[in-house]
Amino acid sequence: MRDESYIIYQLIAGASLIFSATLVLVHLASFAASRIRRWDTATISWYSMGKVAAGAGLLVRAIASQSGWGHPLLFAIISYCGYAMSAACLGVAVVLLMRSLPAPVPAR
């Protein structure tokens, strides 16, 4: 949850290059680890890719704002799209997690 709130803060206040790059790299590593056969779960893969999408959008915004490229609104929209993709991936991860839980045993 702390990760999500800081991503939202970055969307509002402006992207930090260090935070964005760390977010992308950590979750790419998590995605790579989730592809190992014994840790291979769709939930971890979707969650990690969602964070990579959010981090990539923020990273583009951070690099562009520090370099003075283009209009800031364009890069703000790109980072918001990255977060929207992140929210969609998180939704898929939650659905997959709920489906993987064992069914409750009815009481007699």
Of the candidates 90, 79, 108, the residue with the CA atom closest to the CA atom of residue 8: 79
Amino acid (one-letter) located at 70: G
Distance between CA atoms of residues 80 and 65, nearest Å: 15
Per-residue pLDDT of the chain (108 residues; tens, 9 = 90+): 466 676 767 766 666 777 777 778 888 887 777 777 665 577 778 888 888 888 888 888 888 777 777 777 777 787 788 888 888 888 888 888 888 878 777 777
Contact 48, 56 (CB under 8 A): no
In Å, what is the CA distance from 60 to each residue of 16, 47, 103? 10, 20, 43
In this prediction the pTM is 0.66
